[in-house]
Structure 1
Amino acid sequence: MIIPLSQFKMDKKKFKEIDKWMLFSIVTIVLFGILNIYLATKPYAYNTTYVIKQSLFFGVSLVGLYFIMALDYSIIKGFTPLFYWGSVILLVLVLVIGKTVNGAQGWINLGIVSFQPAELAKVATIMMMGKKLEDMDGNINNFKNFCIVALYAIIPAALIVIQPDMGMTMVLFFMVVGVFFAGGLDKRIIIGGLTGLVVAIVLVWNSGLIQPYQKMRIISFQNPEANSSEEGYHLRQSLIGIGSGGFLGTNSSFSKESAGGYASQYVPEVETDFIFAQIGEQWGLLGAAFLLSLYGILICRMIAIARDSKDMFGNIVAIGMTSYLLFAIWQNIGMTIGLMPITGITLPLVSYGGSSLLTTILSLGLVLNIGMRKRKLYF
């Protein structure tokens, strides 16, 4: 099925329906992230490479954002099975030809850039669950319906576990929980599912899929001082950087003579997983509060869109993406300050990463689309 270009023309009435606060939050968070990526990589000669790549992906994302918002999401909904099964095929493919990054074979090398299929799979899974629930008239508490919807979540989750990418598995899990909760699943089933998850975690933990160094990285947050020269090194350096920021930040990376701040020089993966350490040091509590306020606006607007959506598909997609943001923000910031175990979950829209930025903005564009077309038409 080919969509004619005329379908992508956005009329003025629809343009006025765009949630301006949500769009403002997205753009501002990304620009703030690009600035901090530059500051985080300032000590290195190749630092502009990260900024240029992130900026290019942002530009491509904005173009994609327009096309996503211009096309009625009921048309996009029709392509959901194609998105879902395409992402599943990519997850299988990455296990065969994928390259390994930080212990997980989850990336496909495209030459100039690398692509992480799990990023696409998490969005496609939520879309598929939303479509199936809508087809079932929301009757999620029917055992057969529940098993069908759960199976669509289990297939990509199992393939991501095999990589193994525990961070992305956790993200997908919390998105699915959000969907089941929004879909009205009986609370007893949710509690039973969480109990089953605990059992599954114990089995996976002792299965050999998770390497010893990955286990140590996860549990090191409990006592970073005991592992300050090994697994706890990331957290210890992150805490020093954030702690030195105080209320207003050190602003040490802004000086032309400065080689950069403490975090940019001593925190590993500071431009990706530990970007919040850079923000905490350079901008202090005030800068962190600014970023969290933008996230707060974004999440509140998404909840409002979910509440006012005209169909179940729109409601489920908006809730699924809200669940993703809530968990990813909590997990990423929590691991940089010692409240959560260290995983490979990036800070949404802020951390360096082209495939993550592109898929996040496009999926948020779908939520904007749902908000633009929330009003039911009566004839």
Structure 2
Amino acid sequence: MLEKFTISRKLLKEFDFPIIVTVIIICLFGSLNIYSASHMSYGFYYLKAQLIWIAVGLVLVYLILLIDYSVIKDYAPIVYWFGVFLLVLNCIPAFKYTVNGASSWIKIGGISMQPSEFAKVGIILMLAKQLDDMEGHINNVKNIVKLTVYALIPMALIVKQPDMGMTMVCFFAVLGIYFIAGLNFKVILGGFLGITALGTIAWKSSFIEYYQKMRIVSLFNPDQYEASYSLQVTQSKIGIGSGGILGKGFLKGTQISGGYIPESHTDFIFAVVGEEWGLIGCSALVIFYIVIVYRSIKIAKEAKDIFGTMVCVGIISTMLFSIFQNIGMTVGLLPITGITLPFMSYGGSSILSAFIELSLILNIGMRRKKINF
């Protein structure tokens, strides 16, 4: 009985311990910063909740590692359509749940979740499975139409919420998969031109909410909107800048403890790092992310099949974009979105989805050899 819940030594030899160790370090560092950002108002509440989610995530990783990822491939359509089902529930008022003004959550009983986090995983698995079934022949009209339809169904539901941040995350996951799969560059360029045209139409219509437009407008003229739409970014930049090279020290951030940066324990967790740990802390965090991405790319290149490679590529793409976007918005280089910093920001849905993605990469790495003796 216990053998079913034990990973063989031969598989453990292929296990990428540096990735999991680095992730745990980031999680613990993130928990410290979450506590620093929230202890004045909430005590240990968010710290304890985050640690529980991390523990659940690690258990989930272990359970997923027990299953050969080729079996997971067979269940990709179920994961995909379940994600779509959760997104459809979000369209029903009885299940829709608003958190901090965002209607991208659902609540069933006493449990709330962000379905787009899990739908994102479904998109990656489904596209990877389809490409594997197509033997990688993406430059075929029928194949690319089929892949794009699968990508657009959940993304359209995410846009409807509206959650432009997660839409962009999913878009870059799809783009990464298409690019590595070898989609003709002219098709990719044509897609960008089409999206640009649709974006222009959406901007001039009422499709994009006013506050979303102002987030972009204020990015280019922050001084004019310093007391309104640029307030959060302005305070974040003050906090990061005041941290200097070494930072002010743990629990000593005046911007953070004073409550000047809204959502500092979630979307703006990087501002906490900048103020309390300084340039050294920020650089160390970025290096940790580089380690994870580098080793994930190595696993993607060594995967034994197209499915494994494409799953890794999709996950790496989402991680890279999330890191770039989150840090960029906290320093005023990119517009504000609800994208969290992987393994650092508070949030059950984001933590669990990040651990699911991590487990898939580790699973593919463990079984990179075609035959395990």
CA deviations 1:68-98 (Å, max 9, x no partner) are 1121111111111100001101101111121
**SS state of the match for residue 266, structure 1?**
coil
- Identify the residue that residue 118 of structure 1 maps to in structure 2: 116
Aligned amino acid, residue 255 of structure 2: Y
How far 1:8 moved relative to its partner? 4.0
1:9: Cα distance to partner? Answer: 2.7
**CA deviations over 1:291-323 (Å, ceiling 9, x no partner):** 001000000000000000000010001011100
Alpha carbons 2:250, 2:277 under 8 Å: kept: no
Equivalent pair of 1:218/1:343 in contact (CA under 8 Å) = no
- Checking the alignment, whether the CA contact within 8 Å between 1:220 and 1:232 is kept in structure 2 is yes
- C-alpha distance in 1, partners of 2:100/2:65? 35
Aligned counterpart, 1:257: none
User: Which runs of 5 or more structure 1 residues have no equivalent in the other structure?
Assistant: 255-259
- 1:302 pairs with 2:302: no
Q: Which residue does the alignment assign to 1:245?
A: 243
Is 1:219 matched with 2:217?
Answer: yes
**Residue 55 of structure 1 pairs with residue 51 of structure 2:** yes
* 1:97-131 deviation per Cα after TM superposition (whole angstroms, max 9, x unaligned): 21123443210124544200000011110100000
The alpha-carbon deviation at position 340 of structure 1 amounts to: 0.6
Give the superposition deviation at 1:215: 1.6
For the Cα contact (< 8 Å) 1:238–1:263, is it kept in 2?
no
Alignment of 1:1-379 (within 5 A): 7-44=4-41, 46-96=42-92, 97-251=95-249, 253=251, 261-264=254-257, 265-377=259-371
Separation (CA, whole Å) in 2 of partners of 1:311 and 1:197: 31
Pairwise CA distance, 1:252: 5.6
Q: Out of 121-130 and 110-119, give the one that drifted further.
A: 110-119
The alignment's TM-score, normalised by the length of structure 1, stands at: 0.94
- Aligned to 2:90, what secondary structure does the other structure show? helix
Deviation at 1:378, TM superposition (A): 8.6
Q: AA paired with 2:254?
A: G
Gaps of 5+ in 2: none
Distance 1:153 1:291 in 2: 32
SS at match of 2:103: strand
Change (3 A) 1:199 1:337: same
Q: SS of the counterpart of 2:44?
A: helix
The TM-score normalised by the length of structure 2 is: 0.96
Distance 1:105 1:18 in 2: 39
User: 206-215 or 134-143, which moves further after superposition?
Assistant: 206-215
Distance 1:136 1:175 in 2: 19
Alpha-carbon distance between aligned partners in 2 of 1:277 and 1:111, rounded to the nearest angstrom:
34
How many angstroms does 1:279 deviate by? 0.4
**Which contiguous aligned blocks of 4+ residues in structure 1 show a shift greater than 6 angstroms?**
none
* Equivalent position amino acid for 2:6 in 1: K
Percent of aligned pairs with the same amino acid: 49
Q: Would you say how many aligned residue pairs link Structure 1 and Structure 2?
A: 370
Greater displacement, 17-26 / 240-249: 17-26
Amino acid at match of 2:38: T
Q: Is the 8 A contact 1:222 1:338 kept in 2?
A: no
Structure 1 letter corresponding to 2:60: G
Question: Contact 1:221/1:338 (CA < 8 Å) preserved in 2?
Answer: yes
Checking the alignment, whether the CA contact within 8 Å between 1:8 and 1:71 is kept in structure 2 is no
What CA RMSD, in Å, does the superposition of the two structures yield over aligned residues?
1.6
